[in-house]
Amino acid sequence: MTSSHKRRLFVDIETFSSADISKCGAFKYMEADDFEILLIAYAWDDGPVHMVDMTKLHTDLAEFTKYQDFRAGLADPNVVKVAHNSAFERAAFARAFDDYQPPEQWHDTMILAAYNGLPMSLDAAGAALQLTDQKIKEGTALISYFCKPCRPTISNGGRTRNLPAHAPDKWARFIEYCRRDVEVCQAIYKRLSRYPVTDFERQVWALDARINERGVLVDMELAQAAIDVDEAFKAEHTEELTRLTGLGNPNSVSQLKGWLETVGLSCESLNKATVSDLRKTATNPTTRRVLELRSLLGKTSTKKYEAMVNAAGADNRVRGLLQYYGAGRTGRWAGRLVQLQNLPQNHLDEIAQVREIVRAKDLDTLELLYDSVPDVLSQLIRTALVAKPGHTFLVCDYAAIEARVIAYLAGEQWRMDVFAEGGDIYCSSASQMFGVPVVKHGVNGHLRQKGKVAELACGYGGGVAALKAFGADKMGLSEEEMQNIVTQWRAASPSIPKLWRDVERAAKQAVKNPGKMFRVGSAAAYWKDADALRCRLPSGRVLTYWGARLDNDGGLCFMGQNQQTRKWEKTSTWGGKLVENIVQAVARSCLAVALVRLDEAGYDIVFHVHDEIIVEAPEGSHWQDVAEIMGEPIDWAPGLLLRGDGYSTPFYMKD
């Protein structure tokens, strides 16, 4: 029986736990001894929502009868279970009922919304779709009242938890809140059913669920030692800063700015760049030392260690680190809890020995060996993620994946020849730009980074500003030199600027002619329906630009979620940006294929970061085997040359 003909069981739950889910994540939240399910709202297909009050389960026959109906549906593999952020419900039922829920039996309206270019949260998705029934706004206050411990006071009799009997009116409203969530979930599912997640993406999503459930081991001794070392370092240097300035709180920006004014230095802020500039101008030794201490104390080096400690379960594994389809424009993954996507790089020599010094909490030795202890701790964050005993990490990433994809989609032959011959595209670009041979770790090797910056900045229509954003000005390049790089890069790869123009033209034509498809070679196909501009990728996956239209000036715009403010607002785009979306989406699809292939080959993937996959394998395993699978051809991208590079390591680090 296909999923389209199966019965659907929509579900939403409300729970209690003394753990703070915002800090520890859902898996640790559910490990708490006092975790329990309070309410279950469920509905069959488009039918009415039934409520199960779990607090009355053993005293009310009607509640127990509904509960049995729900549990029967939950246990039936032929029933499609549907929830918004179903990972929470699945984990809760596994914990409360000892009933593991295979992700293959579930659909998720959060993923369906993201797949259709909408916000991921239930309330924001409902608002964007302008549904008749919206999520009840006071839900946050009701959750705080019933789902979290409360502070004991005289007025509440010293209790630490609010029960239904303490506020019957609030409890009744809470029941309606839970009921409404299922109704919104039903409405979203029905509204977006014309554009369901593809079968392959459902396979990827199910694998993602298992990767998140597997988690990764944390070296808790190292993580806690790093936190302790940082606290000791800050205490020591705050005391020195207090002594030098005489301030009550030298870490206060306003107090320290006032002190600097007394020694003739004025500034608007005390951010990293400002403090660095002030250190260059200060001549007094005491003032220079104060600024140096401010720079050292201003570096946040332990937040991610704290996140690891907070989220690690009883077995010291952190789960739920990845968010499938977290980047709605491309479908790329986003980080959660520890935020793996922005881990600091490490360039320390003898990194294993440095780890041991930190584990020993030897602050004196660290200060003797290094100028900045916070910087050392920051560089060691990756290494707190470790393979379990008897195992090692096989770490492999795609070499220059975006450069390969854009060359392939644009048909830029000389670039494809570089990859076919095993060359380094960053070296080749630098050679063209500077007119000299460039070899990685060899002759003129220092120019490779400039070639890499040009590749990253120029591929999507970027100019001098884009080069600066990637640090070209800090490499000593003048604006004139940067402009020459942009001009030379575009002249050397004319098919890529042509791709920007062709893609923008196709997208605009699709908006002007709803229902008609406009193709851009093998790169993409655009069409506009009643809801959105759609872009079909070579893999068959579709990118969605909700409410796309042409602005008054003829530019292309759509409704999207601002990545900084999270607001649903008008967003402008153009050919270079559309090509960036396509390239990153295709690269992401390549990664998804590799993940599925590695899983089918029996590898235990513990997490992945950007275009890098981390496998936990028995000692003696070879990363080359993983790289070989990653480099295998993909049927929907014939001729795309992929290559995996990697290394083996007992703890996660940058090669």
Residue 216, C-beta contacts closer than 8 angstroms, at least 6 positions apart = 317, 318, 321, 385, 606, 607, 614, 616
Cβ-contact 546, 559 below 8 angstroms: yes
Match 């292939």 to its residue by tokens.
Answer: 597
Residue 3 predicted with pLDDT over 70 = no
pLDDT per residue as tens digits for the range 316-373 = 999 999 999 999 899 999 999 999 999 998 989 999 999 999 999 999 999 999 989 9
pLDDT per residue as tens digits for the range 455-514 = 888 999 999 999 888 888 887 888 888 898 898 889 889 999 999 999 999 999 999 999
The pLDDT, as a whole number, for residue 1 is 43
Beta-bridge partner residues of 593? none
Average pLDDT estimate for 14-41: 97
Cβ-contact 430, 442 below 8 angstroms: no
> End-to-end distance of the chain based on CA atoms, in angstroms?
48
Q: What angle do CA 69, 75, 79 make, to 5 degrees?
A: 85
Residue 581 predicted with pLDDT over 70 = yes
Count of CA atoms in the C-beta half-sphere (13 A) of 194:
7
The pLDDT, as a whole number, for residue 655 is 62
Sequential DSSP letters for 392-449: EEEEEEETTHHHHHHHHHHT-HHHHHHHHTT--HHHHHHHHHHSS---TTSTTGGGHH
Q: Residue 274's pLDDT band (boundaries 50, 70, 90)?
A: confident
Q: Locate 45 and state its tokens.
A: 């297909």
Residue 415, C-beta contacts closer than 8 angstroms, at least 6 positions apart = 403, 407, 425, 428, 493
**CA–CA distance, 586 with 580 (Å, rounded to integer):** 10
Q: Is 187 helix (H, G, I), strand (E, B) or coil?
A: helix
Count H helices, E strands: the chain? 25, 21
Antiparallel, parallel or unpaired: β 80-83 and 106-108: parallel
Average pLDDT estimate for 38-63: 96
Cβ-contact 426, 448 below 8 angstroms: yes
Count of CA atoms in the C-beta half-sphere (13 A) of 499:
29
Q: Is the dihedral of CA 218, 338, 18, 33 positive or negative?
A: negative
**CA–CA distance, 617 with 605 (Å, rounded to integer):** 9
Residue with more model confidence, 654 or 349? 349
Nearest to 163 by CA among 176, 145, 151: 145
Q: Which of 8-22, 83-97, 358-372, 435-449 has the lowest mean pLDDT?
A: 435-449
**Which 8-state DSSP code applies to residue 283?**
-
